[in-house]
Chains A and B, each alone.
Chain A
Amino acid sequence: MNKKEKFFSVMKKVGTGAQKFSKNYLNYTVILAVMLVFTIFALATPMKDSTALLFQKITVAVILAVSLNFVVGFLGELSLGHAGFMAVGAFLGGKLSTILVNALGANSTNIFILILSLVLGAVCAAVCGVVVGFAALRLRGDYLAIVTLAFGEIVRVVFINSSYDNAINKINATKLPEFIKNFFAKILELLDFGGALGLQSPSFPKKKMYILVIIGFLLILFTLFVIQNILKSKTGRAITAIRDNEIAAKAMGIDVTKHKLMVFVISAAFAGMAGVLFSYANKPVSASSFGYNYSIEILIMVVLGGMGSINGSIISASLITILNEFLSKKLTGDNAIYKDLFYAVILILVIIYNNAPALKNLREKLNLKNLVGKLFNKIFKRKPNPSSVASDAARWDVVPTKIEMNEVLSTDVVIDYTGENSADIDERGGSDNGKEN
Chain B
Amino acid sequence: MAKKIKAPKHVPHKRENIESEYVLETRNLGISFGGLKAVQDVNLKIKKNQVYGLIGPNGAGKTTVFNLLTGVYQPTTGSFYLNGEDLTGLSQEKINRKGFARTFQNIRLFNNMTVVRNVMVGLSNQPEYKCTLFESIFRLPRHFIAERKMRKRAKELLDIFGLLDERNNLACNLPYGKQRKLEIARALATNPKLLLLDEPAAGMNPNETEDLVNTIKYICENFDMTILLIEHDMKFVSGLCDQITVLNFGTVLAEGDTKEALNNPEVIKAYIGG
A and B touching (Cβ–Cβ under 8 A) = yes
Which residues of A pack against B, CB within 8 Å? 225-226, 229-230, 233-235, 237-238, 240-241, 243-245, 247-256, 262, 386-387, 390-391, 400-401, 414, 419, 422-425, 427-428, 430-436
Proximity string of chain B (154-182) to chain A, C-beta cutoff 8 Å, 1 when within and 0 when not: 00000000000000111011000000000
19 sample A-B contacts, Cβ–Cβ < 8 Å, listed by A number: A229-B136, A229-B137, A230-B133, A230-B136, A237-B117, A237-B121, A241-B110, A241-B113, A244-B109, A244-B110, A245-B109, A247-B72, A250-B93, A251-B102, A251-B104, A427-B113, A433-B168, A434-B168, A436-B168
Nearest chain-B residue to A246 (Cβ)?
B108
- The main secondary structure of chain A at its interface with chain B is helix
User: Inside 8 A of A434's CB, which chain B residues have their CB?
Assistant: 168
The 10 closest A-B pairs by CB, nearest first: A233-B136, A253-B96, A248-B108, A244-B110, A250-B92, A422-B172, A234-B124, A253-B125, A425-B112, A241-B121
B150-A234 in contact (CB<8A): yes
Closest chain B CB from A174 CB (angstroms): 48
User: Inside 8 A of B92's CB, which chain A residues have their CB?
Assistant: 250-251
B114-A427 in contact (CB<8A): yes
Q: Tell me the residues in window 81-133 of chain B with beta carbons closer than 8 Å to chain A beta carbons.
A: 91-93, 96-97, 101-102, 104, 106, 108-114, 116-117, 120-125, 129, 131, 133
A48 to B199, CA, bound (A): 69
Proximity string of chain B (59-89) to chain A, C-beta cutoff 8 Å, 1 when within and 0 when not: 0000000000010100000000000000000
A229-B139, A252-B122 are contacts. A422–B111 as well, Cβ < 8 Å? yes
B169-A424 in contact (CB<8A): no
Proximity string of chain B (249-265) to chain A, C-beta cutoff 8 Å, 1 when within and 0 when not: 00000000000000000
A241-B121, A245-B111, A422-B172 are contacts. A251–B147 as well, Cβ < 8 Å? no
Closest chain B CB from A133 CB (angstroms): 15
A423-B112 in contact (CB<8A): yes
B143 at the interface (CB under 8 A from A): yes
B26 at the interface (CB under 8 A from A): no
Nearest chain-B residue to A424 (Cβ)?
B112
A129 to B241, CA, bound (A): 50
B111-A254 in contact (CB<8A): no
Closest chain A CB from B153 CB (angstroms): 12
A422-B112, A427-B113, A427-B114 are contacts. A248–B190 as well, Cβ < 8 Å? no
User: Inside 8 A of B70's CB, which chain A residues have their CB?
Assistant: 251
Closest chain B CB from A68 CB (angstroms): 19
A238-B112 in contact (CB<8A): no
B136-A433 in contact (CB<8A): no
B45 at the interface (CB under 8 A from A): no
B146 at the interface (CB under 8 A from A): yes
Nearest chain-B residue to A226 (Cβ)?
B137
B151 at the interface (CB under 8 A from A): yes
Nearest chain-B residue to A255 (Cβ)?
B93
B193 at the interface (CB under 8 A from A): no
Partner of B169, one of A238, A254, A390: A390
Q: Which of A229, A241, A253 has the most CB of B within 10 A?
A: A253
A248-B93 in contact (CB<8A): no
Closest chain B CB from A387 CB (angstroms): 5
A422 to B96, CA, bound (A): 27
Partner of B112, one of A244, A252, A435: A244
A254-B93 in contact (CB<8A): yes
Which residues of B pack against A, CB within 8 Å? 70, 72, 91-93, 96-97, 101-102, 104, 106, 108-114, 116-117, 120-125, 129, 131, 133, 136-139, 143, 146-147, 150-151, 168-170, 172-173, 186-187, 189-190
A434 to B101, CA, bound (A): 29
Partner of A234, one of B91, B93, B120, B138: B120
B97-A386 in contact (CB<8A): no
A252 to B72, CA, bound (A): 12
A419-B168 in contact (CB<8A): no
Partner of A247, one of B108, B114, B129, B186: B108
User: Inside 8 A of A427's CB, which chain B residues have their CB?
Assistant: 112-114, 117, 170
User: Inside 8 A of A249's CB, which chain B residues have their CB?
Assistant: 110, 121
Nearest chain-A residue to B196 (Cβ)?
A251
A430 to B109, CA, bound (A): 18
A390 to B170, CA, bound (A): 7
Closest chain A CB from B120 CB (angstroms): 6
Other 15 A-B pairs with CB < 8 A, given A414-B106, A434-B168: A229-B138, A230-B136, A233-B147, A234-B123, A234-B124, A241-B110, A253-B93, A253-B124, A387-B169, A390-B170, A401-B111, A423-B172, A424-B112, A432-B117, A432-B151
Nearest chain-B residue to A244 (Cβ)?
B110
A243 to B121, CA, bound (A): 13
User: Inside 8 A of B170's CB, which chain A residues have their CB?
Assistant: 390-391, 422-423, 427
B116-A252 in contact (CB<8A): no
User: Inside 8 A of A387's CB, which chain B residues have their CB?
Assistant: 168-169
User: Inside 8 A of B106's CB, which chain A residues have their CB?
Assistant: 414
Partner of B109, one of A248, A250, A419: A248
B96-A433 in contact (CB<8A): no
A280 to B113, CA, bound (A): 40
User: Inside 8 A of B129's CB, which chain A residues have their CB?
Assistant: 234
User: Inside 8 A of B112's CB, which chain A residues have their CB?
Assistant: 240, 243-244, 400-401, 422-425, 427
B111-A386 in contact (CB<8A): no
User: Inside 8 A of B117's CB, which chain A residues have their CB?
Assistant: 237, 240, 427, 430, 432-433
B120-A432 in contact (CB<8A): yes
A238 to B221, CA, bound (A): 30
B143-A233 in contact (CB<8A): yes
User: Inside 8 A of B190's CB, which chain A residues have their CB?
Assistant: 252-253
B101-A234 in contact (CB<8A): no
Closest chain A CB from B5 CB (angstroms): 27
B113-A248 in contact (CB<8A): no
User: Inside 8 A of A247's CB, which chain B residues have their CB?
Assistant: 72, 104, 108
B121-A390 in contact (CB<8A): no
Nearest chain-A residue to B72 (Cβ)?
A247
Closest chain A CB from B83 CB (angstroms): 18
